[in-house]
Amino acid sequence: MATTKEILAEERLASFLQQLGHQIIIPGEPRWSRYDDEADVVYVGFTENGEATRSDELNDYVILDYRGDQLVDIEILNASLHV
């Protein structure tokens, strides 16, 4: 399993988001990211106040959180396998 430092490596996360950008509209550069090593989930936020009003599953390991039509954050499940 990858370490927290490896998961949050900027190049790996940026590459993952770039690939994801072919499937969804990403609203610019992330403002923050956090790795939960117990859950093996990376959270990537695009706003300071990421309170979502709805969530959509893009696939088995990516959840998109929206406030209205604005993407506020992305959750990457089983991150050590995907990022």
Average pLDDT, the chain: 86
Where helices occur in 2-69 by DSSP H, the ranges are 4-7, 10-20
Relative to beta strand 54-57, strand 62-67 is: antiparallel
Q: Structure tokens of 34?
A: 């956090």
Record the tokens describing residue 63, joined without a space. Answer: 């959840």
pLDDT digits (tens, 9 = 90+) for 23-60: 888 888 889 888 898 999 999 999 987 689 999 999 99
